[in-house]
Structure 1
Amino acid sequence: MDKNKSIDHQLRATWQAVAKLYNEQAAKHDSTMATAFVLLNIDYDKGTPSTALGPSMGMEPTSLSRILKTMEEKGAIVREKNPNDGRSVIIKLTDYGKEMREISKGHVIGFNNKIREHVTEQELDAFFKVTSTINKLIADKVIYQEEKKINKKAV
């Protein structure tokens, strides 16, 4: 199959280009795209339980722990005991973290606005429909369903 007609290749290549672009912007602020992503997923006012962060972003716990440690060392977040559950921690933004969050948000908005200047609403609607369908097929485990049936019979 021609890689330029392969859906997964286009998704991967596009995401790598977007990630590189965001990392270049983040580096100007001594940060990373992953850190910016975490900042954008922490509730601005109340903070977010650490146990809710990973799943909401699709991030592995070890990766998230490493990022949170770095963010805490840089003074972007603080960890506070969860008053509703003594076993968990609430991640809260510091004033510096809120400032960095606004910078990150500005870059995301700028990216989206620039894309919207070059892509019609109809094209964006189609893009969102396609990506939504792909995510649903994956979540519903439909993609390799036939392969699973064959493997079960073989065992």
Structure 2
Amino acid sequence: MKDKTIDYVLRATWQAVSRMYNEEASKYGASMSVGFALLSIDKENGIPSTALGPQMGMEPTSLTRTLKSMEDKGLIVRKKNPVDGRGVLIHLTKLGKEKRELSRDRVLKFNEVIKQHVSQEKLDNFMEVAEIINELISEKLIFTPENEPTE
């Protein structure tokens, strides 16, 4: 992996993780995005539909499709927000809570296996590097005039 760029390694790794979770989720008639949505919805209080997309980093059209699928499968119900009648809260059904626990178990299993193969020091370094990358991107410090190549 010596000659690969940082973004290539991030992308390739994320695609492998995504494929792994989708393969696992397909055994239960779901997808990684459904599992992630289940984990993002508060078990007791639900979540405003407007907060779910940003929390998951999903585009509105993808989120709408995912929520429709989840509703069709009986995993969620939409209820009027009692605080703001214009808003909608997404709540897990009994089945949704069961599938949420299954998703949670799969995520914990992934973390457990990685921790068996990677030292805590290396994991800490990985987390630190990921945080720095996210900060640089969110603060728009990558593509700035001072970082542009000179001729």
Deviates more, 1:140-149 or 1:8-17: 140-149
- Structure with the larger helix share: 1
Secondary structure of 2:90 counterpart: strand
Structure 1 residues 120-155: Cα deviation after superposition (integer angstroms, max 9, x where no partner): 0000000000000000000000000117999xxxxx
Asked if 1:59 corresponds to 2:54, the answer is no
List structure 1 runs of 4+ shifted beyond 4 angstroms.
147-150
2:141 corresponds to: 142
Secondary structure of 1:92 counterpart: strand
**C-alpha contact (below 8 Å) 1:4/1:10 kept by paired residues:** no
- Deviation at residue 5 of structure 1 after TM alignment: 2.7
**TM-score normalised to structure 2 length:** 0.94
**C-alpha contact (below 8 Å) 1:79/1:89 kept by paired residues:** yes
Q: Structure 1: how far apart are the matches of 2:2 and 2:141?
A: 23
Task: Tell me the number of residue pairs that the alignment of Structure 1 and Structure 2 aligns.
Answer: 149
Secondary structure of 1:86 counterpart: coil
Q: Structure 2: how far apart are the matches of 1:26 and 1:112?
A: 16
Q: CA RMSD in A?
A: 1.7
Matched ranges for 1:70-85 at <5 A: 70-85=69-84
Matched ranges for 1:26-41 at <5 A: 26-41=25-40
Identity of aligned residues (%): 55
Gaps of 5+ in 2: none
**C-alpha contact (below 8 Å) 1:3/1:9 kept by paired residues:** no
Gaps of 5+ in 1: 151-155
Secondary structure of 1:84 counterpart: coil
1:93 corresponds to: 92
